[in-house]
Amino acid sequence: MVKPGQINQLVIVEKTPFGAYLNAGEQQLVFANNSLLPNDADVGDIVSVFIYQDSEGEYKTTDNQAMARVGEFARLTVVEVNNVGAFLDWGLPKDLLVPYAEQSKPLKEGQSPVVYIYQNKADGRVVASTKIEKFLDKTSHSFSVGDRVDLVITDKTDLGIKAIIDHQYLGMVHNDDLHKKVKYGQKLTGYIKNIRADQKLDITLQKPGLAGRDALAEKILAEINKNDGVLAISDKSSPDIIAKVFGVSKKQYKTALGKLYKEKVIVIDDNLVKKVSD
């Protein structure tokens, strides 16, 4: 059965000069233009297409790229508000509805909330909700410290910034681990830093351990090379400058500098970092 708001794997049942009809299940066909099909596609082949529903509820294919899919959280912009609800631009011909019952507070045109996209069980239509808490998984998880995860940044608190992890769980990037500016709704890569006794998750934006130090060292070298072999940010520079340029703490920066120094790649002289001549 077709899953609207997602990429589907469908079988070609009939070819035409302009495209092909695909089996959408339950005796339904959906048409895909040639631009969506491989050049050598033929009857019986399985193809990947993004399916959405038009205003009549009919399944359609599109070569537009959706900004998010069913089962995902994303920050989207309100382009219209009427008596049905608010409509969001999500990159498809038909805008995405947030019914009034799914608005944590009334939305206005021009606002860009983080929403969860899902298929309404009542009528099968794809809609969105700003009541994101109810769509988060509060059961146990299988993460391990150091795991790479995808993040969507949400609310700022006194402790740090909340982030949705892998479109499923809620985590926290604490202020001590926040060394670069992040924006509400921004999508980032993060890493599991700590799993608390209550299974809540602490996140860091910096790759932990040796791999993270190596990545930072490469970033420092790239900055030095960009500035003709000299960098005016040393181990004595302010934490604010280090965080602004490299997005890490002063401690992490000094550790990476130390690694490069021990490898005799750089020297530190008069508050400058210089690359050792080949």
In a domain? residue 139:
no
Domain final residue, candidates 204, 223, 248: 204
- Residue-wise pLDDT for 111-133, tens only, equals 999 999 999 988 888 999 999 99
Cα–Cα dist 244/273, whole Å: 17
* The pLDDT of residue 237: 87
Burial of 99 (0-12, 13-18, 19+ CB in 10 A): middle
- Rounded to an integer, the average pLDDT of 263-273 is 83
CB environment 257-276: b (16+ within 10 A), e (fewer):
bebbeeeeebebeeeebebe
Q: In sequence order, what E strands does the chain have?
A: 6-16, 19-25, 28-33, 46-53, 59-62, 73-75, 77-81, 85-89, 96-99, 114-119, 126-129, 148-156, 160-165, 169-174, 187-195, 201-204, 230-231, 266-269, 272-275
In a domain? residue 85:
yes
| Between residues 163 and 219, the one the model is more confident about | 163
Question: Does 160 share its domain with 184?
Answer: yes
Domain final residue, candidates 83, 110, 134: 134
Is the pLDDT at 134 greater than 70? The verdict is yes
| Between residues 260 and 82, the one the model is more confident about | 82
Mean of per-residue pLDDT scores for the chain: 90
DSSP 8-state class, residue 176? G
- Rounded to an integer, the average pLDDT of 271-276 is 85
270 pLDDT band, cuts 50/70/90, is: confident
Q: Can you read off the two tokens belonging to residue 9?
A: 């794997």
272 pLDDT band, cuts 50/70/90, is: confident
* Domain at 115, CATH number: 2.40.50.140
Is the pLDDT at 157 greater than 70? The verdict is yes
Question: Does 217 share its domain with 200?
Answer: no
What's the gap between Cα 164 and its chain centre? 9
Q: What is the rounded radius of gyration, in angstroms, for the C-alpha atoms of the chain?
A: 24
**3-class secondary-structure state, position 91:** coil
DSSP 8-state class, residue 57? S
Q: Which of 81, 121, 71, 122 is nearest to 103 (CA)?
A: 81
Question: Does 227 share its domain with 191?
Answer: no
Q: What is the domain extent for residue 190?
A: 148-204
In a domain? residue 250:
yes
What's the gap between Cα 100 and its chain centre? 26
- Residue-wise pLDDT for 46-104, tens only, equals 999 999 988 888 889 987 888 999 999 999 999 999 999 999 999 998 999 999 999 99
Supply the angle between the helices 250-262 and 209-226 in degrees, to the nearest 10: 80
Spatial neighbors of 6 by CB under 8 A, at least 6 apart, are 50, 51, 69, 70, 71
Cα–Cα dist 200/5, whole Å: 30
Question: Does 188 share its domain with 237?
Answer: no
- Residue-wise pLDDT for 201-238, tens only, equals 999 988 765 555 577 888 888 888 888 888 888 888 88
Q: Can you read off the two tokens belonging to residue 61?
A: 């294919």
In a domain? residue 68:
no
Domain final residue, candidates 158, 173, 204: 204
- The Cα-based distances of 218 to 70, 71, 96, 224 in angstroms read 37, 36, 42, 10
In a domain? residue 143:
no
* The pLDDT of residue 209: 59
Is the pLDDT at 199 greater than 80? The verdict is yes
Tell me the HSE value of 273 on the side-chain side, using a 13 A CA sphere.
Answer: 27
pTM of whole model > 0.85? no
Domain count, the chain: 4
